[in-house]
Structures are given as C-alpha cells and as structure tokens.
Amino acid sequence: MSKRPLTFEQLEHRLEEYLDPVLSTRRTAEAPAQALSIFSRGQQDFVLHWISVIVRTNSEMGYQFASQAPDALRLMDLHGVEKWIIQFMDVYDKQGLYPGCANVQAVEQFAADLHLREFVLNFEDVVSVLEHYVHGLAGRALKLQPNEIVYTDTEHLYLPRRLRLFRTRQKNFGLYKAMASHLWAQTWFGTFRVPEGLVSLVNVCGSYADPERATRLFHALETARLNACIERGLPGLYREMMALQSEQAEIRYATNWTDAVHRLQAPDATVRDTIRALQHLYADEGHLPPPFCFQGRLMLESAEAAIRARQDREKHAFHENLRLMDHKLEANAAGPARASIPPRLQATWPPSQDGLHDPQIEWTLDGRPVTPPEEIRALSRSILQDFGEIPDEYLVAAGDGAYQLVPGSDQPAPSVWERAYHEEGAWLYNEWDFRRQHYRKDWCVLREIELHPSEERYVDEVLSRYRGLISGLRRTFEALRGEDRILKKQIHGDDIDLDAVVEAYADMHVGLEMSERLFTKHRNLERDMAVIFMVDMSGSTKGWINDAEREALVLLCEALEILGDRYAIYGFSGMTRKRCELYRIKRFDEHYADPVKRRIAAIRPQDYTRMGVIIRHLSGLLADVEARTKLLITLSDGKPDDYDGYRGEYGIEDTRQALIEAKHQGIFPFCITIDTEAHDYLPRMYGAVNYVLIDEVRKLPLKVSDIYRHLTT
C-alpha cells in the first residue's frame, strides 16, 4: 500500500529543519518544496533521506541537492539519481565546495552520460591489459598514450581517451585492441621502412600535387597490406577486426583498386609495392575507400623523426658495444695480434615465414661464429625492425677513439664546482673510468646528511589508505617468518625425532657411535639477513614517482618489521663528484619509530644520480654488519646521471664496477626500476636476473614488498 505524497507545507517544514543553517529571508525552502510536492511519496522520501545524509557533511551541498533533485528525478530513475549523488559527493570530498556545487548543477549532463556509462570505455580501463598485449605480440616494447589523434610514432601508440562507437563495452574494447594491433602492425610489418633508393616517405607523398591526399591514399593501401599480414599471422584477430568493421560499414575496393590490393595481399608484398600502387592510383580521380574504423591516422613526419632519432642512438650504441666485444675477444685470444683492419661482424638470418617471430640471427666476426652480448642482440632486433636488415655501416666496429662521446659531456665544467663543499670530514671514493680501465683516485666526495624530518603525518595517511593491503601483507610476511617447520636431527629440541632414533639405534647396533642429534625442534627462524634500500632522490623522481617511492617504503617497513630482517634506508642524490650526498633515513641500529617515519615523509627530489660512489659507500656499511645474507636494493627511475659527464656509458660502467666490488664483498645487489628502457642497460649493470622493471609507477608500492618476499625466500 503506497502512502500519500507529502504536501507542500509538510515538505517545506522538513526542508527548513534540515537546511536551516543555509537559509535566509532571501533564500527559502519554498521553491524546492513546491517542486518536490508533485512527486510520489517514495521519491520524496528518497530525496529527504539523502538531504539528511548530505547536510551532515555540508549544508550548502544539501541545499544545492534539494534544488536540483526535482530535475534529477525527472531525468533519471532512483538508481541513477543515487549514482549522481555519490559522484558529486565524491567530487566535494576531493575537490571542495565549489566544484562540488558545479557538479550538482550539472545534473543534466550527468543524466545524458549515464546511459553511455554502460558501454563507454576509458583509456585508463584498458591501458594495462593492452600494453601487455602489445608487448606480447612482438618487437620493441611500445608505450601506450591517450591522445586525440590515433597514430603511432614507432615508439608510442596513441589511442583515444575514451571509446563509445559501439553499444557494448566488449566491442569498444575490441576496437581498442584493433586500433592497437593495427598501429603495432605498422611498426612491425614495416610501414615506415623506406625502400632503397628513396629518402623518406614524407618526400614520397610530398612529391605529389596534393600531399595530404597522397598520404591518405598511401595509408589506405598500406592498411590493405597490413590487414593481409594480420590475416596470415593472427587469423583470430583478423576475424575480430573485420567483424567490428562490418558493423560500421562494409569496405569494398573500387574495381580499379582490385589489382593493386591483390598484389599488396601477397605474402612478399612490402611498402615498396604500396608506393608503386600509390603512383598508379593517384592519377585516378576515383574515390578513396572509406577508412577502417581502427586505422587512425598516418603521421609520417613524427614516425620518421622518431626513427631518425633512434637510428642515431642505436648506431652509436651498436658501434660502442661492438668495440667492447672486440676488445674482449682480442684479450681472450692468445694468438698473435690481428691486423689493424677493423673487425667486421656479419649477421645472417633465415627469412621468417609469417614475420611474427624475431628472427634467429647467426653472427660471425671475421668469419668466426660468435655469440654477441645481449646488448648487441637487443639492438639488432630493434634495428631489424626499423630497416628489415642490419645495414652494413652498423657492422664495422670503430677503431679506438673513432667515436667521440657527445662533445663537452666529458669535460667537467669548472663552474659547477663552485657550490661544492670543502672536502673536510667527508668520505673520498674512487671512480672507475672505463676508457682508461683504471680508477680515478679519491675522485668523489661523499657526505652523509641527516634528512630533516617532516612534520606531516604522512605515514599514518599511507597506512590508512592501504589498510586492506597491509593486513594482507602482514599475513604473507608472518607466514614467511613463522614458516612453521620442524627441524629434524637437532641436538636439543622439544620432541624426539623417531627417524633419527631408529637410525642411531641401527648405527649403535653395528658398533658405530650413536649420534646425539635425536630431537626435533620447531623452527625459530633466524633469517639472518641485512638489507639496505638505496632510494633514488634525483630530480627526475619529482611528482608521482616520489610519492610512489615513499609509499613503497612505508609498506616495505611494515613488512620488514614483521619479518625482523635488519634493514637500513638511505636516499641519494647530489651534483658533481664534489657533492655526492647520502641522506640517512633509517640506520641499521635505529628503530622504525616516529623520527624514521617523518624522515620517510621528508624524502624529496633533489639533483642528480651518481650511483657508483653511493654503492661503494653503502657496500662499506653492509660489510660492517654481521649477517649471512646481505642485500643492497636500489629503487630507481633511470640511468646513472650527473652533471659533470657522469652519464651514458661512463656512468653505467662505473656503476657496474661498483656493483662488482659489492659482489666481491658478498653483497647481493638488486635493482627495482620503473625506467622502461631499463632492459637496455640494467642487465649489464646488475646481471640479467638481478633487476625487476615495474612498468607502472602506481604499482610500485604494491610490488616492492612482493619482490622483496620473492627475493629472500
């Protein structure tokens, strides 16, 4: 039985009760009460209930809601209205009164979007799945970025911020996937590989009267070729893409296109055939086939710019690596010195059938088969992806000194030392110069600095934000500590080890001495582990990386306190060799108490990262600690980098040398990084399995404790 609606007077009375603090002579409850009086009792009760809830948070928000509620009820059902309330209260909580009110007033917009919500898909919803997906396919690890225009520059795939072309989320996801796959296909099946004899694709299209039309035509033809490549290699994906397309429009090529398209669909078709077809079809004034819904735009300029930049970088890196490899081979060869002609590396690879695998390259150096280091192999994969071959000029190593590092990078500018400290009371450390293959003596000046504690209640905030996670963390780490195992064959213990007794009895029988290890003991885990966390505080960590680092440390401390491992935390930064700074956050002998928590809160980005000297210093600290296992874990966001030329190969080699020294002292170094290019240099510094790359900053806090657990069990 439904109750009768409240009358205007009743409503006005109730509203006045709730909204009293924000009402005045000019602002009364009359209008909202009037507007609400026409609704059913159920709707009225709903609104009154929510007003009573909202005014407890903020009266003004309550008033705004009361004024907009009648509109909302007209536009949405109660379920939708509730979503709207939750949404604007959320905005109020996070951003304050003004944006909150604006959101209340935007009720119409909300209602209009509401039915879209069911199938709109945002970039953030799909980015991590799609990124894994694209990395899985093949080739260079492409980054996904939201953007207005859908295209690729061969390093990033730019995808729309949101998709709502189709009426279901599933299909919109399919469209995201199809777009990412098409762009990936451009980078993998050689859309940007300029055929021999041509300078650039921009020039090719620019040579036509209407370059833009030529580019569109080129893209349409390439899409036909790429679709065929996808059909051959990834038939399931092809079916999906075509099904999506057929819901939009069937794409048919005009009769004068059929021949060209047919040729482009052949397995051996390349971009050269596309260019040829372009010449052919440009003259025809006929129509262009409509674009596929997933094809986006072709931005030849930005792709070619990115390729040129990468080409320079990789060519240089390739030569440097080749030279290093040659040095090593020469050092290993006991025979007479080779003639002074530069060595020549040769690469051969079998043609790949469907072009989905990285080819297995066979390498020979001056006719002898060799296995080049991983750096060269990784570079060659990228080069092969850009050019479809490894051009000859890459394969000849430069003689000594033929390659200059970037001019100026080697000369420390005297001016940067002006701010430097005097060296009194500081530690001096050597630095490895790989070019000389010798240390520079007492080259770096390092100081330990007490980090000034911050006043914030930062740690408590983080703890409350991750409440759920921390209880899970506690469980896992407690299980690790408790690892309730019974140790057998102990001299002392709480129970008799029957197996041992039987064995001992048997031993005694044959006249052997009876073992005294006859007891079992509950394991009282002595993990006997000491770990230093070395936290990157360079300027590049500014913003959310810094936040993620601090959050990660808070969670880690929680975990480590449970485990009982000894640990210390140091932050590092500095500028030039004369001012290397190590910030004490927690020493080994310090408890995890308020000062430490406040120092974690105070971690702020500083200057540069000179890693070698820091590693040497911390290795020294670790060496002084008695522990069976010693770990040095770096949290970092990039390569070593300092103002006075400590970058590129020099920085990497010095860091590597410092890590090797640490290993000699029985320390196990490990690196957790968020630099997506880390695969290029971290294996050289830390070894292939001694680092972890976390591809999303937001995952860092969640992952670090997990990695630590993994690492130490």
- Are 573 and 581 in contact, with CB atoms under 8 Å apart? yes
Q: How far is the CB of 508 from other proteins (least distance, A)?
A: 9
Q: Which residues between 654 and 693 bind other proteins (CB under 8 A)?
A: 668, 670, 679, 689-690, 692-693
- Are 256 and 280 in contact, with CB atoms under 8 Å apart? no
Please work out, in degrees rounded to the nearest 5, the angle formed at the alpha carbon of residue 555 by the alpha carbons of 551 and 558. 145
By the rule CB under 8 A, 625 interacts with other proteins? no
Part in contact with other proteins (CB under 8 A); list of ranges 6-14, 299-307, 458-466, 507-515: 507-515
By the rule CB under 8 A, 252 interacts with other proteins? no
H runs (alpha helix) in 58-164:
59-75, 78-95, 97-105, 107-117, 123-137
Q: How far is the CB of 502 from other proteins (least distance, A)?
A: 7
Nearest CA to 88 out of 69, 107, 116, 113 is that of 107
List the one residue from 32, 62, 233, 343 that touches other proteins (CB under 8 A).
233
Q: Which residues between 151 and 210 bind other proteins (CB under 8 A)?
A: 177, 181
Phi and psi angles of residue 149, each rounded to the nearest 5 degrees, phi first: -100, 135
Shorter beta-carbon distance to other proteins: residue 467 or 509: 509
CA distance from start to end of the chain: 65
Q: How far is the CB of 468 from other proteins (least distance, A)?
A: 17
Measured distance CA(408)–CA(554) in Å, rounded: 41
H runs (alpha helix) in 335-390:
374-387
Shorter beta-carbon distance to other proteins: residue 136 or 336: 136
Q: How far is the CB of 128 from other proteins (least distance, A)?
A: 5
Shorter beta-carbon distance to other proteins: residue 66 or 500: 500
Measured distance CA(446)–CA(228) in Å, rounded: 60
Part in contact with other proteins (CB under 8 A); list of ranges 62-70, 135-143, 386-394, 567-575: 135-143
Q: How far is the CB of 689 from other proteins (least distance, A)?
A: 5
Site string for other proteins, 298-337 (x = CB under 8 A): ----------------------------------------
For residue 224, give both structure tokens: 């036909």
Place of tokens 């959320």: 90
By the rule CB under 8 A, 621 interacts with other proteins? no
By the rule CB under 8 A, 544 interacts with other proteins? no
Q: How far is CA 179 from CA 390, 527, 543, in A?
A: 29, 50, 31
Q: Which residues between 71 and 130 bind other proteins (CB under 8 A)?
A: 128-130
By the rule CB under 8 A, 507 interacts with other proteins? yes
By the rule CB under 8 A, 638 interacts with other proteins? no
Looking at residue 344, what DSSP letter applies? Answer: B
Which residues, including other chains, have CB under 8 Å from residue 48's CB and lie 6 or more apart? 14, 18
Q: How far is the CB of 159 from other proteins (least distance, A)?
A: 15
Shorter beta-carbon distance to other proteins: residue 297 or 699: 699
Q: How far is the CB of 133 from other proteins (least distance, A)?
A: 4
For residue 566, give both structure tokens: 């000894």
Strands of the sheet containing 156-159, edge to edge, are 143-146, 156-159, 151-152
By the rule CB under 8 A, 401 interacts with other proteins? no
By the rule CB under 8 A, 407 interacts with other proteins? no
List the one residue from 141, 378, 384, 525 that touches other proteins (CB under 8 A).
141
List the one residue from 502, 523, 564, 591 that touches other proteins (CB under 8 A).
502
Number of residues that bind other proteins (CB under 8 A): 46
Q: How far is the CB of 452 from other proteins (least distance, A)?
A: 34
Q: How far is CA 537 from CA 209, 264, 300, in A?
A: 54, 53, 38
List the one residue from 503, 590, 649, 661 that touches other proteins (CB under 8 A).
503
By the rule CB under 8 A, 631 interacts with other proteins? yes
Q: How far is the CB of 671 from other proteins (least distance, A)?
A: 11
Which amino acid, one-letter code, is at 540? S
By the rule CB under 8 A, 510 interacts with other proteins? yes
List the one residue from 414, 509, 626, 664 that touches other proteins (CB under 8 A).
509
Place of tokens 């990078």: 409
Part in contact with other proteins (CB under 8 A); list of ranges 212-220, 232-240, 335-343, 418-426: 232-240
482-489 long-range contacts (CB < 8 A, ≥24 apart) are: 482/525, 483/523, 483/525, 484/522, 484/523, 485/522, 485/523, 486/520, 486/521, 486/522, 486/523, 487/520, 487/521, 487/522, 487/523, 488/520, 489/515, 489/517, 489/518, 489/519
List the one residue from 12, 60, 222, 240 that touches other proteins (CB under 8 A).
240
Q: How far is the CB of 136 from other proteins (least distance, A)?
A: 4
Shorter beta-carbon distance to other proteins: residue 358 or 641: 358
- Are 199 and 206 in contact, with CB atoms under 8 Å apart? no
Write the DSSP string, 687-709: -TTSEEE-S-GGGHHHHHHHHHH
Q: Which residues between 474 and 493 bind other proteins (CB under 8 A)?
A: 488-489
Q: Which residues between 353 and 382 bind other proteins (CB under 8 A)?
A: 356-357, 360
Q: How far is CA 19 from CA 25, 36, 51, 58, 98, in A?
A: 13, 15, 9, 10, 18
Q: Is 359 exposed, middle or buried (0-12, 13-18, 19+ CB in 10 A)?
A: middle
Measured distance CA(223)–CA(295) in Å, rounded: 7
By the rule CB under 8 A, 351 interacts with other proteins? no
Shorter beta-carbon distance to other proteins: residue 175 or 445: 175
Q: How far is the CB of 695 from other proteins (least distance, A)?
A: 5
List the one residue from 112, 288, 496, 506 that touches other proteins (CB under 8 A).
506
By the rule CB under 8 A, 242 interacts with other proteins? no
Nearest CA to 669 out of 648, 655, 680 is that of 655
**427 strand-pairing partners:** 446
| Helix axis angle, 41-57 to 59-75, nearest 10° | 150
Measured in whole angstroms, how far is the alpha carbon of residue 632 from the centre of its chain? 22
Shorter beta-carbon distance to other proteins: residue 359 or 388: 359
By the rule CB under 8 A, 236 interacts with other proteins? yes
Measured distance CA(35)–CA(44) in Å, rounded: 11
Nearest CA to 405 out of 658, 646, 675 is that of 646
Q: How far is the CB of 629 from other proteins (least distance, A)?
A: 5
By the rule CB under 8 A, 605 interacts with other proteins? no
Q: How far is the CB of 191 from other proteins (least distance, A)?
A: 19
Q: How far is the CB of 652 from other proteins (least distance, A)?
A: 19
By the rule CB under 8 A, 468 interacts with other proteins? no
- Are 413 and 171 in contact, with CB atoms under 8 Å apart? no
Q: How far is the CB of 541 from other proteins (least distance, A)?
A: 21
Shorter beta-carbon distance to other proteins: residue 282 or 668: 668
List the one residue from 22, 75, 111, 137 that touches other proteins (CB under 8 A).
137
List the one residue from 1, 24, 79, 136 that touches other proteins (CB under 8 A).
136
Can you give the binding site for other proteins, defined by CB under 8 A? Answer: 128-133, 135-138, 141, 177, 181, 233-237, 240, 356-357, 360, 488-489, 502-503, 505-507, 509-510, 512, 629, 631, 668, 670, 679, 689-690, 692-693, 695, 710-713
